[in-house]
Amino acid sequence: MKSAMRELAGCAAPQAPRVAQRRRPLTRAECVEGILRGDRSTLARAVTLIESARDDDRALAEQVVEDCLPHSGHSIRVGITGVPGAGKSSVIEALGVYLVTERKQKVAVLAIDPSSQISGGSILGDKTRMTTLAASEMAFVRPSPSRGMIGGVAQRTREAMLLCEAAGYSNVLVETVGVGQSETAAHEMVDFFLLLTLAGAGDELQGIKRGVMELADLVAVNKADGANLEAAERARAEAANALHYFPASASGWTQRAIACSARTGAGIGELWECVLEFVALTQANGAFAQARREQQRRWMHETIDRALRQRFDAHPAVQSRVAALERDVTEGRATPFLAARMLLDAYARET
């Protein structure tokens, strides 16, 4: 693993310098053609469109996503979660390098990081940590800044994932920061969900709620190296034991626990074998396709929720009354229910 990383780093092409001004915008056809050709810079620009707050960018992004949809879906989507510092980025890099060098497969890495609006830049740290992988021609690494609500972040990540698939990335790895809601958001857009934990930190300290563990298809105890090796093995056995008590999943898959090290590469191959076994099993029994169909259904409803909310917020009847009603609620003159109903009625009357 180590030598593979060095080998990759050695043949790395230098990253293109960032262009400060806004370049000529790509047309819909140019975007789609570039993506389908697998051109990384077009893909990167299209993802920027997806993340843009500008209405014209968003409109173009939606068209591009729509054109790419028929070419998407042919990848293994893996979500990776775990508390800050568990080694998500490091494991993703190790796994990505493994896929690129050992399996000769393309890998895209995306991130859901709702915390970056608070911490301001944790995700940029990720980028530097994945430099070896990012330098490979076979990889696309995209740490995305997030603003606003979780649903919005998830939506953009999902769209970016579809574009990566259309560009021929047969594996998509999604990193998410363990802050509750984001894990569920990530779980709902991937085929396989990996929970990274550490030895020595109690479950409470790690913020691992039963619910998150239940979502995991695989629990990997990371940093199983050096002096930590034995403790990691014990933690693996404990996790395996805990998983034992969960009800069997509808997919027919039995959850597992392994130990791994992003540093030495130990367990990374085993981790991927596990993903492949899961995919083989669930593709054979229909659970894989069924889960994706369910995700599509939810995606439709999430899109409706968001669009309705946007229309509601932008409506003049709402805008003209919302501030006063918010004051009434905070100062105790109206109940939240009454104020909400007044706004909803005002919206419904004038649409």
Residue with smaller CB distance to Mg ion, 88 or 142: 88
For residue 256, the partner it binds in ligand GTP, Mg ion, none, with Cβ less than 5 to 8 A by kind, is none
Residue with smaller CB distance to ligand GTP, 105 or 206: 206
Q: Does 88 bind Mg ion (CB under 5 A)?
A: yes
For residue 104, give every residue at least 6 positions away whose Cβ sits within 8 Å of its Cβ, in sequence order, or none: 138
Residues 1-60 that bind Mg ion (CB under 5 A): none
CA 63 remoteness from chain centre:
22
CB of 111 to ligand GTP, least distance (A): 8
CB of 225 to ligand GTP, least distance (A): 5
For residue 17, give every residue at least 6 positions away whose Cβ sits within 8 Å of its Cβ, in sequence order, or none: none
CB of 216 to ligand GTP, least distance (A): 15
Residue with smaller CB distance to Mg ion, 171 or 282: 171
What span, in angstroms and rounded, lies between the C-alpha atoms of 262 and 284? Answer: 31
Residue 223, phi-psi category: left (phi > 0), alpha (psi -120 to 50), beta (remainder): left
Using alpha carbons, select from 145, 164, 9, 203 the residue that is nearest to residue 78. Answer: 164
Strands (E), 40-106: 76-81
For residue 18, give every residue at least 6 positions away whose Cβ sits within 8 Å of its Cβ, in sequence order, or none: none
Q: Which stretch binds Mg ion (CB under 5 A): 10-18, 68-76, 121-129, 142-150?
A: 121-129
What span, in angstroms and rounded, lies between the C-alpha atoms of 230 and 317? Answer: 64
Q: Does 261 bind Mg ion (CB under 5 A)?
A: no
Q: Which residues pair with 219 in a beta bridge?
A: 195, 257
Q: Which stretch binds Mg ion (CB under 5 A): 49-57, 96-104, 123-131, 159-167?
A: 123-131
CB of 140 to ligand GTP, least distance (A): 18
CB of 125 to ligand GTP, least distance (A): 7
Q: Does 126 bind Mg ion (CB under 5 A)?
A: yes
CB of 261 to ligand GTP, least distance (A): 4
The SS3 assignment for 158 reads: helix
Residue with smaller CB distance to ligand GTP, 31 or 220: 220
For residue 86, the partner it binds in ligand GTP, Mg ion, none, with Cβ less than 5 to 8 A by kind, is ligand GTP
Which helix (H) or strand (E) segment is 311 a member of? helix 287-314
For residue 84, the partner it binds in ligand GTP, Mg ion, none, with Cβ less than 5 to 8 A by kind, is ligand GTP
Residue with smaller CB distance to Mg ion, 126 or 183: 126
Q: Does 89 bind Mg ion (CB under 5 A)?
A: yes
For residue 63, the partner it binds in Mg ion, ligand GTP, none, with Cβ less than 5 to 8 A by kind, is none
C-alpha distance from residue 18 to each of 5, 55, 125, 142 (Å) = 25, 24, 17, 14
Residue with smaller CB distance to ligand GTP, 179 or 242: 179
Nearest position to Mg ion, beta carbon: 89
What span, in angstroms and rounded, lies between the C-alpha atoms of 44 and 112? Answer: 16
Residue with smaller CB distance to ligand GTP, 13 or 227: 227
Q: Does 217 bind Mg ion (CB under 5 A)?
A: no
- By the criterion CB under 6 A, which residues form the site for ligand GTP? 82, 84-90, 122, 126, 129, 177, 222-223, 225, 261-263
Q: How many CA atoms lie within 13 A of 197 on its CB side?
A: 32
Residue with smaller CB distance to ligand GTP, 211 or 226: 226
Strands (E), the chain: 76-81, 107-112, 139-142, 171-176, 192-198, 218-222, 256-259
Q: Which residues bind Mg ion (CB under 5 A)?
A: 88-89, 126
